[in-house]
Amino acid sequence: MSEKNPLPVGPRTPVLLLLVVASLVLLPLVLPSATLATEILIFALAALACNLLLGYTGLLSFGQGIFFGVGAYGAALLMIHLKWGLFAALLGAAVFGALLALLVGALAIRRKGIYFVMLTLAFSQMAYFLAYTLSGWTGGDNGLLDVPRPNIEVFGHVLVDLADPRHFYAFVALLFLLIFAFALRVIRSPFGSTLLAIRENETRAAAIGYDTRHFKILVFMLSGAITGIAGALYAMLLHFAPLSNIDLMMSENILIMTIIGGTGSLFGSLLGAGAIVVLGDVLSELWPRWLMLLGLILILVVVFMRGGLWGGLAELGKRLRPGRTLSTKTKETL
């Protein structure tokens, strides 16, 4: 499916987690607003989930926007109509995302390669028009308005007031760290190693005893759940769930962030999301046609930096520290 470039070699788990924590602390300090920083983390979650499919399993999915949108609508509706709290709504979004992914995955995974991609594309289109048509629920073109952002409460007592953008950032950052650590564990588990095997050579993976379809559906569900959470957080951030959440463009953006950051590197997803969100923020003020530049950047990355931003940084690190030998590095892949 995806072009097979050698896996980037990553640092050990504690180093990587430290890197993430440092980034999470630095982000709101260097960026003009906590809201922008929060937006980066939300898209980094979506890109990370996409990376599990594209980078680790070799599945190019144009359906990520479905799960993002469903997470946003689902959480919003649960909070608006059923008055669900913060954690319940996020959990609900994860379940919606996973169930939709099961539905899409179970059908799309019957086909391989280009046909798989086309099926995810078809589902994406269907989901968009469904959301557009069901305007009683989704608000249609206008989007779903007045989405609450519940506080963290214990027995009606407000523990953390999330209306403050800095508080909300801290909450999202903590959630990001947890999900990142979880995803890292998954990747370095027997399950994750099997995903890599499927990415590398599905026929061989089946021949040595793996029911590859089960693995693909499971990782699809995991990806759907994480993307659903990202969608829910985005709706809470904006107090609004626009129709564009479930648009094909959303799937595309998530894919672009994943590829620019570096497929097969979880930290790369944070870099990719950061780069695109910040670029969008800066460039859109300077020039309304900034998306053209984004296309150019994508071309440059795909042609010259196959490992994405992460690969570029790793290459730089290698040049700065030539002492490290290959044998110590090949042991741990990210």
Interacting residues with other proteins (CB under 8 A)? 4-7, 185-186, 188-194, 196-197, 200-201, 203-212, 214-215, 218, 326-327, 330-331, 333
If the CB atoms of residues 83 and 110 are measured against other proteins, the closer one turns out to be: 110
CB neighbour burial string for 288-315, b if at least 16 within 10 angstroms, e if fewer: eeeeeebeeeeeebeeebbbbbbbbbbe
- 137: how many CB neighbours lie within 10 A of its CB? 14
If the CB atoms of residues 19 and 186 are measured against other proteins, the closer one turns out to be: 186
- 83: how many CB neighbours lie within 10 A of its CB? 11
> Phi and psi dihedrals of 265, rounded to 5?
-140, 115
- From the CB of 118, what's the least distance to other proteins, in Å? 25
If the CB atoms of residues 136 and 209 are measured against other proteins, the closer one turns out to be: 209
- 280: how many CB neighbours lie within 10 A of its CB? 18
How far is 141 from 124, CA to CA, in rounded Å?
17
SS3 content of the chain, % helix, strand, coil (to 5): 75, 5, 25
If the CB atoms of residues 46 and 197 are measured against other proteins, the closer one turns out to be: 197
CB neighbour burial string for 217-248, b if at least 16 within 10 angstroms, e if fewer: bbbbbbbbbbbbbbbbbbbbbbebbbbebbbb
How far is 253 from 255, CA to CA, in rounded Å?
5
- From the CB of 191, what's the least distance to other proteins, in Å? 4
Residue type for position 36: L
Contacts of 167 (CB under 8 A, 6+ apart): 160, 161
If the CB atoms of residues 132 and 191 are measured against other proteins, the closer one turns out to be: 191
Residue showing tokens 């379940």: 95
If the CB atoms of residues 192 and 274 are measured against other proteins, the closer one turns out to be: 192
If the CB atoms of residues 256 and 266 are measured against other proteins, the closer one turns out to be: 266
- From the CB of 185, what's the least distance to other proteins, in Å? 7
- From the CB of 29, what's the least distance to other proteins, in Å? 33
- From the CB of 188, what's the least distance to other proteins, in Å? 5
If the CB atoms of residues 79 and 205 are measured against other proteins, the closer one turns out to be: 205
- From the CB of 58, what's the least distance to other proteins, in Å? 11
Phi-psi region of 247 (alpha: psi -120 to 50; beta: other; left: phi over 0): beta
- From the CB of 107, what's the least distance to other proteins, in Å? 19
- From the CB of 201, what's the least distance to other proteins, in Å? 5
**Three-class SS state of 255:** helix
